[in-house]
């Protein structure tokens, strides 16, 4: 049976991983900052659904095949890299297009256009809980480093002869719980700054920063070992 010390050590490891700024943080903060709170929670649920999948597959030994197979790992790596570069590039392109469309207009009209576009996106399918969940899930599952992390770490905390699936899901649940608590803090922080972050100029810079971060993660995933 797994000990409390083992659970504490695992909690410390995944806690440090959760607090490290990365792709998940950028997605959650940006989505919440532009006023899409439902979509932000969808992103959180999607990311944690992916974490649960990785934990379950690792408990079953499936992810070990991923890290052992060069072809499988490379395929997933390039798919994830392409998806992140596409997502970041699309966000950057949207900010440049919005900026060029605002130039010929008066400041007030431009502000209305930018805000209206954001509101329209929030009301559409793209701003829904399901849309956010899908984005978070795909982003997480197309990251082979999540699988490699669980393969390297999770088996060390599952005693020989124990129920691998049950303990694997339990430990993944600890990771998910910490991540959800951290996501609550991120969304609350973004909500406090919502009025300032929803200004067209500030939102444009926020989207450019987020798009650059996401695309950079994709490029790093593509060129990294």
Roughly what angle, to the nearest 10 degrees, separates helices 164-192 and 23-33? 40
Q: Does the CA dihedral 185-191-83-89 come out positive or negative? A: negative
Q: pLDDT per residue over 4-23, tens digit each?
A: 888 889 999 999 989 988 88
Q: Which pLDDT score is estimated for 49?
A: 96
- 114 pLDDT above the threshold of 60: no
**Residue owning tokens 């209305």:** 112
Number of compact structural domains in the chain: 1
What is the C-alpha separation between 56 and 134, in angstroms, rounded? 19
Q: How far is CA 124 from the centre of its chain?
A: 21
Please compute, for residue 141, the number of CA atoms within 13 A of its CA located in the half-sphere on the CB side. 15
What is the C-alpha separation between 5 and 112, in angstroms, rounded? 56
**Between residues 33 and 64, the one the model is more confident about:** 33
Cβ of 8: how many Cβ atoms within 10 Å?
Answer: 11
Q: pLDDT per residue over 146-183, tens digit each?
A: 888 888 888 888 777 667 788 888 999 999 999 999 99
Q: Which domain holds residue 128?
A: 4-223
- 84 pLDDT above the threshold of 80: yes
Q: How confident is the model at residue 122 (pLDDT cuts 50, 70, 90)?
A: very low
The H or E element spanning position 104 is: none
Q: How confident is the model at residue 127 (pLDDT cuts 50, 70, 90)?
A: low
**pTM of the model as a whole:** 0.76
DSSP string of 121-187, one letter each residue: HHHSGGGSHHHHHHHHHHHHHT-HHHHHHHHHHGGGGS-TTS-HHHHHHHHHHHHHHHHHHHHHHHH
What is the C-alpha separation between 53 and 49, in angstroms, rounded? 6
């Amino acid at each position: 049976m797994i000990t409390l010390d083992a659970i504490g050590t695992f909690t410390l490891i995944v806690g440090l991983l959760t607090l490290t700024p990365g792709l998940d943080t950028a997605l959650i903060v940006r989505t919440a900052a532009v006023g899409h709170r439902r979509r932000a929670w969808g992103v959180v649920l999607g990311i944690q659904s992916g974490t649960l999948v990785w934990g379950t597959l690792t408990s079953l030994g499936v992810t070990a095949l991923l890290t052992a197979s060069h072809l499988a790992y490379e395929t997933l790596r390039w798919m994830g890299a392409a998806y992140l570069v596409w997502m970041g590039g699309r966000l950057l392109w949207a900010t440049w297009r919005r900026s060029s469309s605002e130039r010929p207009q008066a400041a007030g009209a431009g502000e209305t256009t930018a805000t209206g576009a954001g509101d329209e996106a929030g009301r559409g399918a793209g701003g829904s809980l399901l849309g956010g969940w899908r984005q978070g899930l795909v982003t997480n599952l197309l990251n082979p480093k999540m699988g490699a992390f669980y393969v390297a770490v999770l088996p060390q905390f599952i005693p020989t002869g124990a129920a691998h699936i049950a303990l694997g899901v339990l430990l993944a649940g600890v990771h998910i719980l910490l991540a959800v608590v951290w996501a609550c803090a991120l969304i609350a922080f973004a909500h406090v700054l919502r009025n300032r972050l929803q200004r067209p100029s500030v939102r444009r810079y926020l989207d450019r920063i987020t798009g650059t971060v996401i695309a950079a993660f994709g490029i790093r995933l593509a060129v990294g070992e």
